[in-house]
Amino acid sequence: MKARRVTEITVQTDEAFIIRRRAGSVQVCCAHCGSGVPMVTPEEAAALFRVGVRAIYREIEAGQLHFQETPGGSVVVCLDSLQKIVGLLSRNSGSQT
Ligand SMILES: [Zn+2]
């Protein structure tokens, strides 16, 4: 078995972003979509869509985002559901920096 394993997640927004993860990070797929959609941490999601992390959590709490808890206890969100509300997110985050 090879020791090195890197997961690449590409998200098509206005630019292409690639998240490179080190071996050992958990690759979780969305159970709601059921189609192998990768899930990312709220921090990664915020960086990808250029919104605040708080905005991500707000949408999780509002039930707008599919999310799951990893075995390690952290939360990951579904990229597919994120992309569906990304316009809403940037409108709500308000600050243009
Ligand atoms: Zn989903």
pTM for this model (two decimals): 0.66
Q: Could you list which residues have their CB under 5 Å from ion ligand 1?
A: 30, 32-33, 66, 78, 80-81
Per-residue pLDDT of the chain (97 residues; tens, 9 = 90+): 556 777 776 666 555 556 666 655 556 788 888 877 888 899 989 988 888 999 999 999 999 999 988 888 889 999 889 988 887 766 655 544 4
Domains within the chain, CATH numbers bracketed: 28-93 (1.10.1660)
The answer to whether the Cα torsion of 29, 59, 83, 90 is positive or negative is negative
Which amino acid appears at position 37 of this protein? V
CA of 67 to the centre of ligand 1 (A): 7
